[in-house]
Amino acid sequence: MMKTISFFLLKLPLIVLITAGCQSNKSEFASPNASSSFSVSGESQAIASGRQRTYSGLQYEILSHGTGPRPTAYSMVTVHYTGKLTNGTVFDSSVQRGQPATFSLQQVISGWTEGIPLMQEGSRFRFTIPPHLAYGAAGSPPKIGPNETLIFDVELIRVHH
């Protein structure tokens, strides 16, 4: 009897670990009604209708659909964009300069490397990028402080092949 109890107690942690792995998998994308894991406007908010959230925490809203090709995380792209802080302050804008920007998606913040490939050429998205996918604790002085959430309106003009 003692041997049976000892055997069971030794195997119990293994059984718990195996059954814990049998639970349903979470989707890569959370429900549009899921709560945000980072703060926008000073408090945690539910994601607004029409916005989606990736597993990493990047939020995006499709403002208009394009019909062209999608870039990869390694593509060179031409975009028009406006970047804002959560208080509405514009810190950078190719639209205001009147000249679209061309760059490799390997030379930008992680939020762009992840988000731009969700777009098709000709589409417009709004990205809400948490600090860990932007400039993090270092910020990008003088315009972007530490741990800032950034909001970008992006139009994907061209995917270069």
The neighbour count for residue 150, using CB atoms within 10 Å, is 23
Per the annotation, the verdict on 60 as an active-site residue is no
Per the annotation, the verdict on 81 as an active-site residue is yes
Per the annotation, the verdict on 74 as an active-site residue is no
> Of 47, 60, 81, 151, which residue is the catalytic one?
81
Per the annotation, the verdict on 47 as an active-site residue is no
> Of 38, 62, 92, 153, which residue is the catalytic one?
92
> Of 91, 103, 153, 157, which residue is the catalytic one?
91
In angstroms, what CA-CA distances link 146 with 8, 49, 85, 140, 142? 52, 28, 12, 8, 10
Dihedral, 36, 152, 70, 54 alpha carbons, nearest 10: -10
Per the annotation, the verdict on 125 as an active-site residue is no
Per the annotation, the verdict on 153 as an active-site residue is no
> Of 103, 109, 153, 157, which residue is the catalytic one?
109
- Tell me the catalytic residues: 81, 91-92, 109, 135, 152
